[in-house]
Amino acid sequence: MRTRTGGNRTARTAAMAAVVATGAVLMGTAAYADQVKLLETGSTLLYPLFNLWVPDYQKAHADTQITTQGTGSGTGISEAISGIAQIGASDAYMSDAQMKANAGMMNIPLAISSQMINYNIPGLNNQHLKLSGPVLAGIYSGKIKTWNDPAIAKLNPGVKLPSNDIVPVHRTDGSGDTFIFTQYLSFSTPDWSNSTGYGTTVSWPAVQGGIGAEGNPGMVNASKGTPYSIAYIGISFKNATDSAGLGEAELENKDGKFVLPDAKTVGAAVKEMSAKTPPDERVSLIFAPGAESYPIINYEYAIVKGQQPSADVAKALKGFLTWDIDPKGGSTEHYMKAVGFVPLPAAIVKLSEKQIDAIH
């Protein structure tokens, strides 16, 4: 009898343990099911920042699950419009035509970035060559073919430039980096503006030897593997360009000064341009006036629908975006410095907050 009673007690204990374990699993499943899922896709320039933001945000907000994908700004915009993604990360704002065709879309700045012009010239990668918009337009249109072209030599007196052919590298995917690079060419060079123009995709002039690459990682790898190449690469990949041993150009700004992208020169450009930001925040910051202004800077946008599929999704999205631009949250120096970005000025934070508040 003792043995039987002990066996029953053991069986009951085991059964109770199983019930508790099952309940815990079910509770865990329920908790997971209660998570609001957000998808961010788009800009490869913004991708490193989102990958810093998301893990830290989710530690304090277990009810929100955020997935990130670096697919290019063009894809980010289209997937935000279609509803595939809740956040379309983009270095480019939506055009007037896109806004007209897609009522209710928002372009919300989260931070300010810049773009480098990098090159792979054996023996010269440790020097900051001086380049201008017209020279870059000449290179990417095929009119300037060699590194020792008189137009480049004139900007770099005393530098022994090689006679090798220049290999221009451009993005093949829909890209905000292409958007801001071709804006710089358009705003500084009338011939480029009247021919190729600017956009997330453009009809690149046929240049013998020119190559295409996908995403900022592809641009870094293509330039690294191609001697005498030149490429436009987002500032959040500076560690990668430095590791690849690529050179970085000083660019001519609107005042005719040559500058590198850093907190000082980007900040100077922001100071000149941010006051021109309209309520919908779609504006170019390219080619700012000012002796210290770096010429290729831009707002990094979250492209979102004003009307979300549910109140829960809207709440989670608003919470995350608000944290992103909070000077005590995602805009602290810890995050900005890691990717070479600059936080939004207080006046622009208010504009972004107003847009975020309107999400429903």
Q: Where are the beta strands (DSSP E) in the chain?
A: 36-42, 64-70, 87-90, 105-120, 130-131, 167-171, 211-213, 229-234, 247-248, 250-252, 258-259, 297-305
Tokens for 209?
A: 């030897």
Place of tokens 């123009």: 197
> Helix, strand or coil for residue 25?
helix
In this prediction, residue 34 has a pLDDT band, given cuts at 50, 70 and 90, of confident
- pLDDT attached to residue 101: 98
Assess whether pLDDT exceeds 60 at residue 51: yes
Q: What is the pLDDT of residue 11?
A: 43
**In this structure, how many other beta carbons lie within 10 angstroms of the beta carbon of residue 101?**
11
- How far, in Å, CA of 178 to CA of 202, rounded? 8
Measured CA to CA, the distance from residue 309 to residue 201 in angstroms comes to 30
Report the percentage of the chain scoring pLDDT > 70: 91
Domains of the chain: 36-113+299-357 (3.40.190.10), 114-276 (3.40.190.10)
Report whether pLDDT(196) > 70: yes
pTM of the model: 0.89
Q: Where are the beta strands (DSSP E) in 219-269?
A: 229-234, 247-248, 250-252, 258-259
pLDDT digits 0-9 by tens, 197-246: 999 999 999 999 999 999 999 999 999 999 999 999 999 999 999 999 99
Bridge pairing between strands 297-305 and 105-120:
antiparallel
Cα 292 → chain centroid = 23
> What percentage of the chain has pLDDT greater than the value 90?
91
Q: What is the pLDDT of residues 290-330, one digit of tens each?
A: 999 999 999 999 999 999 999 999 999 999 999 999 999 99
The backbone torsions φ and ψ at residue 96, rounded to the nearest 5 degrees and listed phi first, read -60, -40
**What is the rounded distance in angstroms from the CA atom of residue 63 to the CA atom of residue 85?**
18
